[in-house]
Structure 1
């Protein structure tokens, strides 16, 4: 397969030979037959048509139309009609020109020239132009030249010089030198030619130009992929670095907050110790001022005051001896069962406080909502005295607080024989055990209640 410029050289040679023969036919017709144009002479006209026909249908060299069989068959028909003057030569010339334009588009696509543009966007535009049959070939040629021109040399001038060098080249080395000069322009771009030594070596090894172009395109795309991958890798590294910086900053901030919390806690503990040293109540048993680092506080007082925020002055003991001496009296006085005279322990000497029945409980409504330290000796005691406690404490406080509509009937269970009597439908919903309160207090403060 000939290179495109070899086809151009062959085209120019055969075209010139044909033009010379046509001129000779015209001259001999005028001399021998006295006709100004062979069309006026049947014999000379047939000779002229046959010579032009041979130019395309019997060409001895490889040219652009070689192998385009449908086109050559159509030409044969047109030349047959030209003999009988049914078609003039201008129509045949126009048909040849149209076919050559189609060949040109095909040739550009086969060589892959659209892939050798300077950017992907230019490649896409040029590919669209090649596929657009409405664009004149002359315009397409002009656009191709602009796409590949780098301003170093004039394309038309350079190509004509290149063709002339190839036509006059008498050795393979002369052809190679012409290739290198036109494609890599070492005189205009020495550094670029130095970077293209791989492709220059391919030229010197007689690799077809189409293969060299494909190699250039592949390498260009590979380099572009490498650049994209490096950019992506760089961006990922930057993002990772930023993420690490943010994580470090968050860690430093969290550490700073923890350090500040420890400092605040230490200062608060110191302030509390100092405050306790100056504000601790005297021992309930011996009236001595307890040691701020070693004293005992009533757990019920502490839970009611610290967890439920009730105004309770806690009972403090300076030692276990003092606690043993006065703790029970303190509980009986300050934390007596809120059932009062209705306490089941006063009326039922045989009551068994098993299965946790002797665990103290708080009325949830009182300690959470009403601010009253209502304590019961057991869940059972609270359950048995629930109506009395609700009627005399809850209802009174609700009315004093302006709550005239009471909506807790769904929590009550009325006596079917006496509609005025009721009990809690589920007493567990109305209590907070001392054990649960202590666990909640320990969870919130980390302190230990004894």
Structure 2
């Protein structure tokens, strides 16, 4: 039984079929596998509705997810994963998606934090090391709306006066207010496929306490969102990204709650290609999060007549929209290097090229005919032979932040072998790879 057919019901606005797809894609966040293992173990041991049929089928689905999700990756998914934001959703969101009640202590964000983060041009510097997609964004940022940020308080007050009618307050291009929510873009940066935005989001009524659940040391909070975008080029047709197109550019913002009214974060919106693009029209349609409170909905196992009641998390949704235009320099903003390697061994395994952008590095593998490409993974080691961390939790996209990647070692490995040598034994990846090559990027 495929995991996505395990249960049929509705979670808020999200179908359980989609939740099933989440499960498979979430398995791809391999650098968080310790947390994920714990969360899946916790979920699998929670009390389910009294149904042996349901329990058996769900346990089978979970087992299949854990054992096969990575091995069964199709070759075409390598490209799709680059634009799939489901890969960054953390284990807490998995639990919400699975409609399991998440209980536990809820803490209040530290109000003193507000004084620690200057508004203008400093959010990148404050958070760029903490997000799951680290980068030196503050050194490559376009700081926008400095005057806009000085007027944030005025915009906020204007939002109060217009919140009842839902009128959109537009004090300037990079501060947008609607329905009591003010979204301010303070900085942005981009590479060949991603747009990074430093955001300050203020809520007139205050965010729910559940949103500000106390996090373990080193973990950021998350604010979910629905978004769309249009990418523009000169002499080339625009590219659209939206829920309807099936390629939403951004689902999740990582950051911190300064207090109950203010969230600051860095958003990473993903696109197929931004090389040579001249601008992006980006829209946040809504912001939302899951609450600890629940209500029951009716569900059933696909192909079975039995029905049962299952808990569904309540959601708090803030409807917009908030739209921004980012003008891009088609030439100077594109810092991508592409190194042709074009090497393979006698068995046909190899690497065709290495691509390094401002914030991440990838390598394109070569396989012999008839080989299941999903059984293999590309690992990249820095100049000191240490494996790079994933950029935003996506397999085979690696962050370069704080690492020397002037020379890298590319290892094409069997997936099971990589699991064995991804931790403390990473120094043995080269000798256990089906193919490895050292590439000079200086």
TM-score, normalised with respect to structure 1: 0.16
Q: Which structure has the highest strand share of the two? A: 2
Q: Which structure would you say has the larger RCO, counting Cα contacts within 8 Å and 6 or more residues apart?
A: 2
Q: Which structure has the highest helix share of the two? A: 1
